[in-house]
Chains A and B, each alone.
Chain A
Amino acid sequence: MLLEIESLTKSFGGVHAVRNCTFAVPEGQVLGLIGPNGAGKSTVVDLVSGFGQPDSGRVRFAGESIVGKRADVISRLGLIRTFQAPREWRNLTVMDNVLLGRRRFADESVWRCLTRARRIRRAEEADRAAVRAILERFQLAELRNELAVRLSGGQKRLLEFARVAAAEARLIILDEPMGGVNPVLGVRIGEAVRQFAAEGRTVIVVEHNLPFIESTCQQVVVMDLGEVIAQGPFSGLRDNPRVVDAYLGMDQSHG
């Protein structure tokens, strides 16, 4: 198991955002995390990635306990998460955004930047070549010198994925990657997720778009009111009355 979440609990004031949440993700799997609004999905993502501290419970990543660690520390262990809205670095170029995703932390020291400038520049050339290839893959190569703020909404999504791809993380958590995305772009995003899996990365997808979950995820965890109410392959969930009651039924009534 790459990620093990055990009895995770968090409340904000009197609201139990996450209650006794337990599930695990095996290495190499694509796991869908679904549930109605307010089910606690995003809170779980925040707690796991260090953007919030749980009241109680355990989280182990690659065998190491990561509760109480800062977000940047967890990220350096190999866990990259996205946010519901793409959080591009607006006034940096597309190229710089993705280069930052390469995460050469050692080269970001003041001293090294002053004394080893040439060596760092050479290392960066290799990185730039890799980033150009990634940008090509997400059809952003032509825009690499544009400021990220100038991109369209869909292009920002693609930039987000390019950045994630550049980071070469062991575990990728995508928080609603399909939010506000048109169908054509949706196809590309589905491909990107499958490609992460093909590269051997573990992916957790938080999403409301059930066809997307069905086509990309091997396992699904369903949450409602802060609790895990079901877990298993997507096909098995249709018959689970609790799931239908909490989520799928509502979705069908809309459809």
Chain B
Amino acid sequence: MYWVSVFTEAGIFAILALGLDVVWGWTGDFDLAFYGYLALGSYMTFVLTIGKPTPPVEYIIGWHLPVLLSIVLAIVVVVGFAAVIGAIALRNLRGIYFAVTTLGAVSAMYLLVENYTPLFDGFNGVYGLVNPGQTALNLTYNGYRIAFGVVVLIVLFLAYLLVQRLSRSPFGRMLRSVREDERAAAAYGRQVFWAKYRSYLFGAALAGLTGGLFAIFVSAFNPSAWTPQELLVIYAAILVGGRGNPRGVILGTFVVYVGFIELTRYLPSPASRPDFGPALRQVLIGLMIILMLRFRPEGVFRERPGVDSEREPARPLPSDAVGALAPAATGGPGVPGVPGVPEGQAADDGGSS
């Protein structure tokens, strides 16, 4: 059962990583508010599902909705929240300035949730979402956890298909052009802010979905369950797997969560120093990032650029789409006087690939 829960958790975070990779890997925005979106998604799923609070517990809303509907609503709320932060942070801020602003936003949210109890009951947090649907499905506790793990992996697979389709689409290509050079993207008619904004909201939607699944997974949620630093582990996972490559991102998350976080639990922790193991884990993750950056900065799977597979490139024809390009003036390979340096270089570079 332990390994079921490890794989379920890794699956949940892989969905989060897919969303974060759209924002950071494709669009290039190093966002630090992302874990807050997961937290908000979780909180919303709770307060929409678990019913009225009984004093002294207090939290907002307190509805009794079916959990699937709650997750959908939670995603809507998270996207709305990200819409506000994105509208402020993405307009003119780039690089480290953007990162610091989003970190500020998530820290403010963290402090608010901790200290303003009417929201989500402060430090106590919300709880009571225990295996929703277990009796309806007539499952044992363990059977439910296994079924939930399978559901998470199916959702992950669907999210992967969605993201993969977008990654290869004109949308994905356009986002990457914005990442590579914003000014050039604008010069070719791309609305840089709008492109970043759409990518940000798409990523936030996946974070909201992750939050909903996470709520079911942990069945209780309080501020100690989501310190914003946890996001750095997700970044490490993306870095290891391959930034910009959805398959790599999933692999990286499983490597980091299953390989590092869980396997290092078996490290000996002397009784006098119970925090030795967890601390060593952080060191190992840091070490892994450094080694990856040194020896394989593109990750296990590199970002796959669109490969144009047609074997022989079409010759320029004087008719159709390129009609106006008269072959004589373009100096194709056969025209005397022009072949030479560029062509020779072309052959050299082509050979090395």
A147 to B307, CA, bound (A): 10
Q: Is B183's beta carbon under 8 Å from chain A?
A: yes
Q: Which A residues, 137 to 166, have Cβ-Cβ distances below 8 Å to chain B?
A: 137, 139-147, 150-152, 154-155, 158, 163
A95 to B305, CA, bound (A): 10
Contact, CB under 8 Å: B177 / A108? no
Say how far A28's CB is from chain B's closest CB, in angstroms.
13
Identify which of A10-18, A80-88, A203-211, A230-238 touches chain B.
A80-88
A103 to B173, CA, bound (A): 11
Contact, CB under 8 Å: A137 / B189? no
A141 to B202, CA, bound (A): 35
Identify which of A60-68, A186-194, A213-221, A243-251 touches chain B.
A186-194
Contact, CB under 8 Å: A83 / B187? yes
A71 to B271, CA, bound (A): 64
Contact, CB under 8 Å: A129 / B321? yes
- The interface bits of chain B over 310-353 (1 if a CB of A lies within 8 angstroms of the residue's CB, else 0) are 10011111000110111001111100011011110111011001
Say how far A98's CB is from chain B's closest CB, in angstroms.
10
Say how far B326's CB is from chain A's closest CB, in angstroms.
7
Q: Which residues of A contact B186 (CB under 8 A)?
A: 50-51, 70-72, 75
Contact, CB under 8 Å: B346 / A100? no
Question: Known: A100-B177, A137-B325. Is A152-B188 also a contact (CB below 8 A)?
Answer: no
Question: Known: A163-B188, A185-B341. Is A91-B176 also a contact (CB below 8 A)?
Answer: yes
Contact, CB under 8 Å: A104 / B325? no
Identify which of B137-145, B161-169, B209-217, B218-226 touches chain A.
B161-169
Say how far A190's CB is from chain B's closest CB, in angstroms.
11
Contact, CB under 8 Å: A103 / B189? yes
Question: Known: A89-B184, A110-B202, A194-B329. Is A142-B350 also a contact (CB below 8 A)?
Answer: yes
Identify which of B80-88, B98-106, B190-198, B227-235 touches chain A.
B190-198
A199 to B329, CA, bound (A): 12
Q: Which residues of B contact A143 (CB under 8 A)?
A: 346, 349-350
Say how far A242's CB is from chain B's closest CB, in angstroms.
33
Q: Which residues of B contact A114 (CB under 8 A)?
A: 162, 165-166, 169
Identify which of A19-27, A30-38, A120-128 touches chain B.
A120-128
Task: Count B interface residues, CB 8 Å.
Answer: 58
The chain B residue with its CB closest to the CB of A117 is B165
Contact, CB under 8 Å: A191 / B308? no
Contact, CB under 8 Å: B306 / A113? no
Q: Which of A50, A108, A143 has the most CB of B within 10 A?
A: A108
Q: Which residues of A contact B162 (CB under 8 A)?
A: 114
Q: Which residues of A contact B275 (CB under 8 A)?
A: none
26 A-B pairs (CB sep. < 8 Å): A71-B186, A72-B185, A88-B181, A88-B184, A90-B180, A92-B305, A93-B306, A95-B306, A96-B177, A99-B173, A100-B188, A101-B188, A113-B171, A128-B308, A133-B313, A136-B313, A136-B315, A137-B330, A139-B333, A143-B346, A143-B349, A146-B350, A152-B345, A187-B337, A198-B324, A199-B324
A-B interface, 5 closest residue pairs, ranked by CB to CB distance from nearest: A113-B169, A89-B180, A87-B184, A75-B189, A141-B313
Other 17 A-B pairs with CB < 8 A, given A100-B177, A199-B325: A49-B187, A71-B186, A75-B189, A88-B181, A88-B184, A89-B177, A93-B305, A113-B171, A117-B165, A120-B170, A133-B314, A143-B350, A152-B345, A152-B349, A155-B342, A191-B329, A198-B329
Where the two chains meet, the residues of A that have a C-beta atom closer than 8 Å to any C-beta of B are 49-51, 70-72, 75-76, 80-83, 87-93, 95-96, 99-101, 103-105, 107-110, 113-114, 117, 120, 124, 126, 128-130, 132-137, 139-147, 150-152, 154-155, 158, 163, 167, 182, 184-185, 187-188, 191, 194-195, 198-200
